[in-house]
Amino acid sequence: MSRRIVVIAMGIGVLTLLGLSPGMLPPVHAAQFEIRLGHSDPPDIYTSRKAAGSTVFKNIVENETGGAVKVNLYPAGQLGGEREVAEAVKLGSVQIGMLSGPFSGFCREAQVFDIPYLFPSHLVAYRTLEGPFGKELAEECLKKTGMRILTYAQVGFRNFTNSARVIRNPADVKGLKFRVMENPVYMNLVRSMGGAPTPIPWPETYTALQQKVVDGQENPISAIKFAKLYEVQKYMTLDGHTFGVSFMLINEKFFQSLPKEYQTIVKRAALTSAVSENGIDNLDSAIGIQFLKDKGMEIYTPTAGEKAQFRAAAQPAVIAYLEQQIGRTWIDKVMRAVKDAEAALER
């Protein structure tokens, strides 16, 4: 079955679960409210997480409000980069934005998601984000930014690739140069294992790897596949050092201007959009591993003992940095939430 058919089937399933069929849609009314929704991903709903999620969100909101709330989508950075979109949502000129990393620049407490080896699995991450901790963080960020987190979605686990050797444990990182984002967390992560972090803009990464300016980089499987890094990287280690989190944000003043019934619809639509985003990413990652193997990459999965070595090497340095930025309270809260999620899933 092709990827496109699988995703279409997933979409039909979502609509069926929502009870939306041509004969069951609410009556159409003139739009009373208009939402501009911006994100930076490509517009193809079959390959782009945010395109799929935003399309699901748009259809649910417009259908369930009978057209009283209209959602206009602006993909591919039409409203600016992620930081610009967040600024616009904060100001209210854009009602909803979907973004990831830059949000921690507005709500520093969100940096806790960058703690290395925080989440041992997708399920633990979901339970942590959807549980009391995720709600408490959303309330804190709302107070600080005037932006409500409607939902969290995944960007995916980030993994190391390189052209020099198989990385089985932190000692194998020593001496290698890694392209990283210009972010102190990721620079501390690589440095803690003896590697040399080198900030390089994403558009220049392929060339830097090709010309051996750096030996490796770290990204989710989907990004490695999309950027064709398999052409310039031989080895990948599925260490999953960080779990990327995406945020759907709505301007709080606009949200409060909606009738209560429309607020409920918007929140429910956002939760369903996150399911779509996560599904696209999980499918892409599962297919991507075999795709990268077929392209000649050697992929290594660390043992539980090796993962523990990575965690022991990387966490202290990053936590020490974050403690300087946000204090210890939120670090302890997320660590407890992860342990609670693990325990709940084991029952």
Q: Are residues 32 and 59 in the same domain?
A: yes
Q: Are residues 142 and 191 in the same domain?
A: no
pLDDT digits (tens, 9 = 90+) for 78-96: 999 999 999 999 999 999 9
Q: Are residues 298 and 190 in the same domain?
A: yes
The pLDDT, as a whole number, for residue 23 is 42
In the structure, what pLDDT confidence band is assigned to residue 27 with cuts at 50, 70 and 90? low
The answer, yes or no, to whether residue 18 has pLDDT greater than 60, is no
Q: Are residues 204 and 254 in the same domain?
A: no
Q: Are residues 222 and 96 in the same domain?
A: no
Taking residues 306-312, report their average pLDDT.
98
Question: Alpha-carbon distance 15 to 48, whole Å?
Answer: 19
To the nearest whole number, what is the mean pLDDT of the chain? 93
Burial class of 15 by CB neighbour count within 10 A (0 to 12, 13 to 18, 19+): middle
Q: What is the CATH number of the domain that holds 209?
A: 3.40.190.170
Q: Are residues 134 and 179 in the same domain?
A: no
The answer as to whether 258 is a domain residue is: yes
Instruction: Give whole-number Cα distances, 26 to 57, 62, 269, in Å.
Output: 16, 9, 15
pLDDT digits (tens, 9 = 90+) for 61-79: 999 999 999 999 999 999 9
The pLDDT, as a whole number, for residue 90 is 98
Q: Are residues 86 and 174 in the same domain?
A: no
The answer, yes or no, to whether residue 283 has pLDDT greater than 90, is yes
* Count of CA atoms in the C-beta half-sphere (13 A) of 57: 31
The answer, yes or no, to whether residue 21 has pLDDT greater than 50, is no
The pLDDT, as a whole number, for residue 347 is 87
Q: Phi then psi for 59, rounded to 5 degrees?
A: -65, -40
Taking residues 44-72, report their average pLDDT.
97
Q: Are residues 145 and 237 in the same domain?
A: no
- pTM as predicted: 0.90
The answer as to whether 50 is a domain residue is: yes
pLDDT digits (tens, 9 = 90+) for 324-342: 999 999 999 999 999 999 9
Q: Are residues 146 and 69 in the same domain?
A: yes
The answer, yes or no, to whether residue 135 has pLDDT greater than 70, is yes
The pLDDT, as a whole number, for residue 101 is 83
Q: Are residues 249 and 297 in the same domain?
A: no
Nearest to 308 by CA among 114, 158, 170: 170
The answer as to whether 118 is a domain residue is: no
* C-beta of residue 344 within 8 angstroms of C-beta of residue 127: yes
Q: Which of 2-11, 61-70, 119-128 comes out lowest in average pLDDT?
A: 2-11
The pLDDT, as a whole number, for residue 30 is 77
Reduced to 3 states (helix: H, G, I; strand: E, B; else coil), residue 97 is strand
Q: Are residues 341 and 300 in the same domain?
A: yes
Domain of residue 27 covers: 3-107+123-154+245-276
Listed residues 276, 297, 328: the one ending a domain: 276
Q: What percent of the chain has pLDDT over 70?
A: 92
In the structure, what pLDDT confidence band is assigned to residue 14 with cuts at 50, 70 and 90? very low
Q: Are residues 260 and 331 in the same domain?
A: no
Taking residues 170-192, report their average pLDDT.
97
The answer as to whether 114 is a domain residue is: no
The answer as to whether 39 is a domain residue is: yes
The answer, yes or no, to whether residue 46 has pLDDT greater than 50, is yes
The answer as to whether 135 is a domain residue is: yes
The tally of domains found in the chain comes to 2
